[in-house]
Amino acid sequence: MFVNNSYIDVYCDMVADGWTVVQRRLDGSTDFYRDWSDYKKGFGRVSGEYWLGNDNIFNILNGKSYSLRFDIEDFSGEWRYAQYNTFKIADESEGYKITLAGYTGNAGDAMLDTQDILTGYRFSTKDRDIVSYFGQKCSKMHSGGWWYQEEAVSVCTTVNPNGRYYLGSGIQCTLVSSGFQRKNHSKA
């Protein structure tokens, strides 16, 4: 894909109507508990597990209208999806603040939950973990970078796609904590 005057490798999901994949999890072979610079530039392999990079995501989205879609499979082979018709992030100087709105799907609305729009949450990583929940840093607690709830009154997040990859069970949800009967058994 040609973005911001350079080519970047991306994975395109042509099964679900042709989506540019910004994050891909398959088997837990890539550690997503990384620092800011890794999430900024991206990491992993397009043919395997990867994060496209926050700068790349910003440059793709900048000034355009895009949707975000989560395709989620649990370990029994059940598939669900969550789609948001508005998806934007700010640049690095604003901490890659996210804007999401317009949920549809059958996975449960784990990103917006009871809100109609999610705005202003900055991205956190293990070395820029800006959100705490009862004295614990959210990125550390969930083992991955993400847009954690900055108020963190009840939870850091109800969605954790960049967290530890559990092989069938575990305490923290790998992807979505609402919409699945086996909440701690979902994978990307």
Taking only the tens place, the pLDDT of each residue in 116-136 is: 566 778 899 999 877 666 677
User: Does the pLDDT of residue 105 top 70, yes or no?
Assistant: yes
- AA identity, residue 33: Y
Contact indicator for 165, 179 with CB cutoff of 8 Å: no
* pLDDT of 146: 87
- Please tell me what DSSP assigns to residue 123: P
pLDDT band for position 111 (cuts 50, 70, 90) = confident
Q: Which of 8-17, 140-149, 174-183 has the highest mean pLDDT?
A: 8-17
Nearest to 147 by CA among 109, 126, 120: 120
- The tally of domains found in the chain comes to 1
Better-predicted residue by pLDDT, 125 or 175: 125
CA distance readout (Å), 172 to 42, 176, 185: 24, 10, 9
Closest-CA residue to 25 (of 182, 173, 178, 180): 173
84 with 64: CB under 8 angstroms? no
Asked if residue 9 has pLDDT above 80, the reply is yes
Looking at the chain, the whole-number percentage of residues with pLDDT higher than 70 is 79
Q: Which of 42, 78, 46 is nearest to 162 (CA)?
A: 42
- Supply 31's token pair: 């550690």
CB within 8 A of 167, min separation 6: which ones?
28, 75
Percentage of the residues of the chain whose pLDDT score is greater than 90: 39
Confidence at residue 166, expressed as pLDDT on a 0 to 100 scale: 73
Q: What does residue 172 show for φ and ψ, rounded to 5 degrees? A: -90, 145
Domain that holds residue 65: 2-187
Could you tell me the two tokens for 17?
A: 């109507």
**Burial class for 72, CB neighbours closer than 10 Å (0-12, 13-18, 19+):** buried
Residue whose token pair is 């109507």? 17
Provide the pLDDT confidence category of residue 113 given band limits of 50, 70 and 90: low
Q: What is the CATH number of the domain that holds 43?
A: 3.90.215.10
Q: Tell me how far apart the alpha carbons of residues 99 and 90 are, in angstroms, rounded to a whole number.
A: 9
Per-residue DSSP letter, 93: G
Asked if residue 27 lies in contact with residue 13, where contact means CB atoms within 8 angstroms, the answer is: no
Of the pLDDT bands very low, low, confident and very high (cuts 50, 70, 90), residue 76 is confident
